[in-house]
Amino acid sequence: MTSPAPPPSSSSGHWSVPAGAASTFSWEYGDGRERLLTLYQRGKDRQWDAVRRIDWHLDVDPADPLGTPDEALPLHGTPYWERLGPERRSELRRHFAAWQFSQFLHGEQGAMICSARIVECAPDLDAKFFAATQTMDEARHVEIFSRFLREKIGSSYPINGSLRTLLDDTLRDSRWDMPYLGMQVLVEGLALAAFGLLRDTTRRPLPRRLLAYVMQDEARHVAFGRIALRDHYRGLTANELAEREEFVIEGCHLMRNRLRGTEVLENFGVPRAAAVRIAEESGHLRVFRRALFSRIAPCLRDIGLWSPEVREAFAELCDGDVRGSDLDRLMRQDDEIAEALDAERFAAEETARAAEITEMIALGEDTSR
């Protein structure tokens, strides 16, 4: 991998990556793998409209969009924090929310392009089927995060250099499985964990619902990557597996650096070297980072990329705890939370309608006397 690249020029508004993989057609139209086809069916059944499912009228405090406690901000407890007054601290919260959701947005566009690339280059038709539904899912996620940033926060950040480098390396690679590995396992796995932590800690209804609904889709995507890559990697040589493990290790270190948020700190007058040091010394960030990588480790074990070198890298990333999470349990939980939020909203709407009808009946009785 190359070193982290600077953000694309804001003057052009575009970033082009030369395609490295060939388009592959499959003339085998028979039955595919049952579990992938089941995910494909679920992907079709679970399509939803972001305009209708999300109540965009819910208010968000632009000064504190996520209800972020002081302790979660890297500057807290440093001399820089003491120099900030109440207004600047509120501005810092807004900037961190803008930075987080901007990276979510850029990652989701990367996932949209990578899933389209999987449709183009995967050799099996069942994989193409599912990736086609995922491309639509990712387009919806780009729509959601873009709207949230634009309407509720009012500012955004450019793509982080580490994320851009991982996307660049993933898309340039000619091997058809690399979009799976770079996006489905690394970027999507990390995003799922980040979404889950914010979903479970925010006190704000709109970002909680938004994240829960996106996670319901992402759980299918990670399951897809696990099935497809596990099947493929069983047939690779030791050298081919080692190449992919090297990609994983480098990619995870890029994602680790992506989590620092030094761009935000620099906007508040912190020199870059000090911003990196403050981020690395943040106890909250270490806990956050350990939780994020906990979803990736079991996936790598499952697909067969769990050599001593990978385990050593994850021991560093996870502060020695490489057990990871129970992915199947977490995915069931993600689905249940989204469904419960839907049920809660439906019940509230029914209660409001019932109250409105009762009020109209009472008004009618008053006028008939």
Query: What domains lie within the chain, and their CATH numbers?
Result: 34-368 (1.10.620.20)
What are the tens digits of pLDDT across the range 101-137?
999 999 999 999 999 998 988 888 888 888 999 999 9
The answer to whether the beta carbons of residues 176 and 122 sit under 8 Å apart is yes
Q: Is 293 left (phi over 0), alpha (psi -120 to 50) or beta?
A: alpha
pTM: 0.85
pLDDT value, residue 210: 95
The answer to whether the beta carbons of residues 182 and 128 sit under 8 Å apart is no
Share of the chain above pLDDT 90, in %: 38
How wide is the angle at C-alpha 177 spanned by C-alphas 172 and 180, nearest 5°?
A: 90
The confidence band for 5, taking pLDDT boundaries of 50, 70 and 90, is: very low
Of 148-162, 206-220, 281-295, the least confident:
281-295
Which of 362, 301, 20 is closest to 176 using CA atoms? 20
Q: What is the DSSP string of 103-126?
A: HHHHHHHHHHHHHHHHHHH-SSHH
Q: How far apart are CA 8 and CA 121, in angstroms?
A: 26
Q: How far apart are CA 21 and CA 72, in angstroms?
A: 41
What are the tens digits of pLDDT across the range 189-217?
888 888 888 898 888 999 999 999 999 99
| Strand, coil or helix: 160 | coil
The answer to whether the beta carbons of residues 300 and 185 sit under 8 Å apart is yes
Tell me the average pLDDT of the chain.
Answer: 84
Most confident option among 11-15, 18-22, 44-48? 44-48
Q: What is the DSSP string of 6-19?
A: PPPPTTT-------
pLDDT value, residue 2: 46
Residue 60 CB neighbours (<10 A)? 19
For residue 289, CA distances in Å to 171, 181, 283 come to 25, 20, 10
E strand intervals along the chain: none
The confidence band for 9, taking pLDDT boundaries of 50, 70 and 90, is: very low
Model confidence at 85: pLDDT above 90: no
What are the tens digits of pLDDT across the range 225-273?
888 889 899 999 999 999 999 999 998 888 887 778 899 999 999 999 9
